């Protein structure tokens, strides 16, 4: 059996709206293809973590309080995380995890929480409660050159700017900023997004994009995941798209 290794960072603190379910979905969809997904955790104070040993690094979402607590620990891991990023490890980051990998996050009190600085974007919390981004959201992303509607739930006051390569175009909802036209950040080996839900349970092709990338990197050749019966997921997606008019 082939094996992939995922590092779940701060699972005891970054788990808004069922974000840990993304790891469960990846594990299930790997298992259906005869792939074992070995899950490890990185918690505050873990000094021996070698991020380069993992195929996937995952961060879920958290509120301002949690981000402030773990920010220093995250920055202390910067060199190893940067090495893993440069080596092609896949990064999947949701909401607070998305913000923490940028330059900084400034909360509504004006306090600046340093980010890892892995990417150029930064986030400033809006002081206008009317500009909070909350509700169902649908974006159009490009996965291996194909358009795919990605659906999730957003709830963030942070306004993320200087995003050079968005995850997708907003079809319904807000996105990186209030009434924005784009959402998230994406590179070949990175998906960073505000979409909770959990993201992967609602979007099977996003899961398979991650699996395909990681297996292709491991095998040294293009890996195409065997089809899975996703009728239930697709029926649910269809209902939500009709409800949201997209």
Q: Say how many CA atoms lie within 13 Å of 127 toward its Cβ.
A: 5
- The gap between the terminal CA atoms of the chain, to the nearest Å, is 40
Q: Which residues are catalytic?
A: 95, 196
Q: Which residues pair with 138 in a beta bridge?
A: 151, 172
Q: Please indicate if the annotation marks 33 as binding a ligand.
A: no
∠ CA 205-186-126, rounded to 5°: 115
Q: Nearest to residue 73, comparing CAs of 84, 59, 86, 83? A: 59
Annotated binding residues, written as ranges, equal 132
Annotated binding residues for substrate, written as ranges, equal 132
């Amino acid at each position: 059996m082939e094996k992939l290794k995922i590092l779940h960072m701060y699972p005891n603190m970054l788990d808004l709206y069922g974000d840990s379910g993304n790891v469960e979905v990846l594990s299930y969809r790997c298992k259906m293809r005869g792939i074992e997904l070995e899950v490890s955790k990185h918690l505050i104070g873990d000094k021996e973590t070698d991020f380069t040993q993992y195929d996937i690094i995952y961060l879920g979402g958290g509120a301002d309080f949690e981000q402030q607590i773990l920010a220093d620990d995250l920055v202390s891991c910067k060199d190893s995380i940067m090495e893993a990023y440069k080596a092609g490890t896949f990064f999947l980051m949701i909401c607070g995890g998305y913000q923490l990998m940028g330059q900084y996050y400034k909360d509504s009190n004006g306090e600046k929480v340093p980010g890892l600085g892995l990417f150029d974007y930064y986030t400033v919390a809006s002081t206008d409660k009317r500009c909070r981004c909350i509700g169902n959201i649908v974006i159009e992303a490009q996965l291996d050159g194909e358009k795919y509607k990605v659906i999730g739930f957003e709830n963030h006051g942070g306004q993320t700017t200087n995003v050079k390569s968005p995850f997708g175009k907003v079809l319904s909802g807000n996105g990186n900023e209030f009434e924005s036209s784009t959402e998230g950040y994406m590179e070949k080996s990175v998906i960073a997004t505000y979409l909770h839900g959990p993201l992967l349970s609602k979007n099977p092709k996003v899961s398979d994009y991650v699996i395909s990338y990681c297996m292709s990197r491991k095998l040294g050749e293009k890996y195409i995941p065997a089809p899975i019966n996703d009728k239930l997921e697709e029926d649910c997606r269809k209902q939500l798209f009709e409800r949201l008019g997209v």
